[in-house]
Homo-oligomer: A and B are copies of this chain.
Amino acid sequence: MAEELEGNCLVAQSGGPTSVINASVAGVVTEALNNPCIEEIYGGLNGVLGILKEDLIDLAEESQQNIRGLSHTPASALGTCRFKLKRDEDFQRIVDVFEAHNIRYFFYAGGNDSQDTADKISQLAQERDYKLRVIGIPKTIDNDLVTTDHCPGYGSVVKYISTVVREMALDHEAMGQHDLVSIVEVMGRNAGWIAAGATLAKRRENPNDAPHLIYLPELPFSRQKFIEDVQEVLKKNRYCLVVVGEGLRDKDGNYVANSGSGKDAFGHAQLGGVGEALANLVEENLAVKARSCKLGTGQRAAAHCSSQTDNEEAFMAGQAAVRAAIEGETDKMVILVRGEDEPYSCETGLAPLSEIANGVKEIPKDWISEDGVSMTAKFIKYAQPLILGEVSVPHENGLPEFSRLSKKRVRKVLDAHSFE
């Protein structure tokens, strides 16, 4: 048994929000309340930015209703950021703030950049001989973190996109008298996990159901093959529904569509418009109508259609993070470990932050069919359980009612820090 470490805990969220990242915060708060060695439960506003600014809130002051409601509230209730810590004085400042508020437990929900940040904070605390336990909580709709079987957030975005595709398919079928090519653009910068997940929209016994073609950023896009693929589908079907990941690239690595709005703070290209680009390709090369739609930010916030499995696992990951830290673990991220297949089961484990930090999990080659535009049974077996179950979201006036934290500020004790 590890040495008992008494003090306060801090939870923060980072990177793009998801439908279930707040469920992880609810899991942290719930578990932290159970453990007497954790005194105060703080939230950091807008990820590391809020910590730099000493913008902390007292989560134990929130009503129970508010914390319970977090479990079905999308986005990041604590606020998030894409700010990348680089300067040594900023890392020092983080540990200064922790020290000033006796924060001994730090839980950071985010993707690989965030886990990298958490790792560096942990190392600095060790160098400074400040006792701190740091546990990461996986979060990303992109599902591209290594070591974990899958990532909280992924099941929900796939459930929503597959639902939309299945509904659109019925609409297209109903309009059936004309050739139509319909392009659905989904998120996914480097990995096509989200686009691939749309394959679940097909009913198992109907391989000709939509989506008929799936284009993944993993595979170099060929305009010629695309046109041929569409023609092939239109020989058999009245319409062709295509799902495409936003980060689609050609064989030279150039984005098929680049809106030109530059790059984010981590140097990632900001993407958009590949759906429209493919629709134009169709209309220019084939005498059929093409339409595109782009679900945008809504897809990662679609709590009204989130997966109960995903939701529960996100909560569980938050709880597990607290338990691991209490047991003396640090410098680890909670991972999801798949158990049985039928029925599906999943438990949590731990992996070193350093392993996760800058890795990217790609879709295994044999989960993509040889045609390059559909998924194999292995992928379906993997993804299917992640979308199971519906979350019951309370409604007010016909719309989902979400938690908004009252955000009672913790009194600042340090001088202001200048950064950027």
A residues contacting B by CB (< 8 A) are 13, 16-17, 46, 49, 73-77, 79-83, 159, 162-164, 166-168, 170-177, 182, 184, 200-201, 203-204, 261, 270, 272-273, 276, 283, 289-298, 300-305, 307, 309, 384, 387-390, 395-400, 402
Contacts and interface: CB of A to CB of B under 8 A. Distances in A.
B291 A171 contact: no
Contacts of A289: 261, 270
A75 to B, nearest CB: 4
Q: Interface of chain A, helix or strand or loop or mixed?
A: mixed
A175 B74 contact: no
Nearest to A50: B177
A204 to B, nearest CB: 7
Given A171-B297, A384-B397, 15 more contacts: A73-B170, A75-B173, A79-B176, A163-B304, A164-B298, A167-B304, A168-B296, A182-B296, A200-B398, A291-B297, A292-B294, A293-B294, A294-B294, A304-B305, A387-B397
Closest 3 CB pairs of A and B: A293-B296, A387-B398, A75-B170
A402 B307 contact: no
Contacts of A298: 164, 167-168, 171, 293, 295
Nearest to A167: B301
13 contacts: A74-B167, A76-B174, A80-B174, A159-B399, A162-B398, A168-B297, A182-B296, A200-B397, A291-B296, A293-B296, A295-B295, A384-B398, A387-B398
Given A168-B298, A261-B283, A301-B168, A400 B293 contact: no
B399 A171 contact: no
A293 B304 contact: no
A400 B79 contact: no
Contact of A174 (B49, B79, B304): B79
Nearest to A402: B170
A159 B300 CA distance: 18
A174 B17 contact: yes
A177 B46 contact: yes
A293 B162 CA distance: 18
A134 to B, nearest CB: 22
A16 B397 CA distance: 27
A166 B402 contact: yes
Contacts of A294: 292-294, 296
Given A296-B292, A304-B163, A171 B17 contact: yes
A397 B300 CA distance: 20
Contact of A75 (B171, B177, B387): B171
Contacts of A292: 272, 294, 296
A175 B83 CA distance: 11
A399 B283 CA distance: 32
A203 B173 CA distance: 37
B17 A397 contact: no
Nearest to A380: B397
Contacts of A173: 75, 79
